Structure 1
């Protein structure tokens, strides 16, 4: 695959259970809204749901997590969605019979995405199945919004512990509960790091935008 200029990126891992599919959709919806390309949400959510569902069905040890990566390739006008699993095999589009209730996932991906494919993971076992969709033009950014923790970017300000604090870096770490995916770790200025669930809502604003304090708007902490 050719190198792209990446504008924005969100990565997280999910446990292999049914609730992870709507969780992936919610995180995607939040990220697209924050990036200003929420118009692509409906189609993108359908495609990501199929990619994650297929990854969940691959036969691997139950403790293996599914990796999800959402990338907005701004210069190329593309939204790239990825789901990684630890299984072998080659994903193939099937043409299920009338009586079959499953097997249409990649058929839907092929119909909705501009292109899709898979590649072996460079580090570790397994593969990554990806799909790219045309992203609409960006709408003007809001000065302030409530977004999922996984969509927060370095340089933004988040309201935690009664004050606005600047995000220095964003990373992920295994969740404290075994087999429960990962947590987002926000390194903040002048305060301890914030470890939080990827779907947890945080109030953010861009640096330099003033916002008066109002009671009851603090984020978890």
Structure 2
């Protein structure tokens, strides 16, 4: 069976407001991919816990937290990855009823098909990941409307009446809250949009 892997990556500052920003970005991506309410709710809860844990580890304040959302058509799994520059490996705790904190990874373990920890690609630190069963997602028709956060380098986006190839994608915080996406485009200046702004996109699936 031919495997198609669709993924979206972005970075977040080490601030508490990055948790709702991550949830908002994931919501926009999964809405574009046709996820149902139950999967969206579960995925957003898992990602919230992973990002919250990453923000709590000891790391320089200028080190960002990396987020990757990926879907594999071969086994119908949604993979959520959160990378940080902290040392050590997180462990599942089972706090008592009177302990208000420490349930993050317990929630992740309970909701995930599987989860784990590995070295951070290309840098110091670690990546904590979770996989959820998602057999019904449809992330890559040839042409469709998607949120700006779901656009990937190599795709083409329509700006006005013209199509432009996306050369680079990055995210940055908006002064009013939320994430902005900056697209480096072929043949015109960069385009800056709110993460949830819809764009017409066309491209074959990534093989």
TM-score by length of 2: 0.82
Uncovered stretches (5+) of structure 1, i.e. residues with no partner: 208-221
Q: Deviations over 1:74-104 (max 9, x none)?
A: 1121000000010011110001122111100
The answer (yes or no) to whether the contact 1:67–1:84 under 8 Å persists in 2 is yes
Partner of 2:155 in structure 1?
Answer: 155
Q: Give the distance between the partners of 2:143 and 2:36, measured in 1 at CA.
A: 16
Max radius of gyration: which structure? Answer: 1
Q: Deviations over 1:189-220 (max 9, x none)?
A: 432232445x251332447xxxxxxxxxxxxx
The answer (yes or no) to whether the contact 1:25–1:48 under 8 Å persists in 2 is yes
- Shift in CA distance, 135/170, structure 1 to aligned 2, threshold 3 Å: farther
Q: Match for 1:27 among 25, 32, 36?
A: 25
The reply on whether 1:88 has 2:91 as its aligned counterpart is no
- Shift in CA distance, 47/176, structure 1 to aligned 2, threshold 3 Å: closer
The reply on whether 1:186 has 2:183 as its aligned counterpart is yes
TM-score by length of 1: 0.77
RMSD between superposed Cα atoms in Å: 2.9
The answer (yes or no) to whether the contact 1:5–1:73 under 8 Å persists in 2 is yes
Aligned residues: 197
Uncovered stretches (5+) of structure 2, i.e. residues with no partner: none
Which structure is richer in relative contact order (CA contacts within 8 A, separation 6 or more)?
A: 2
Q: Secondary structure at the match of 1:133?
A: strand
The answer (yes or no) to whether the contact 1:170–1:184 under 8 Å persists in 2 is no
- Shift in CA distance, 63/168, structure 1 to aligned 2, threshold 3 Å: closer
Q: Residues 138-177 of structure 1: matches in 2 within 5 Å?
A: 138=137, 144-145=144-145, 147=147, 149-153=148-152, 154-158=154-158, 160=159, 162-172=160-170, 175=172
The reply on whether 1:119 has 2:118 as its aligned counterpart is yes
- Shift in CA distance, 176/71, structure 1 to aligned 2, threshold 3 Å: closer
Which segment drifts farther, 32-41 or 60-69? 32-41
The reply on whether 1:203 has 2:199 as its aligned counterpart is yes
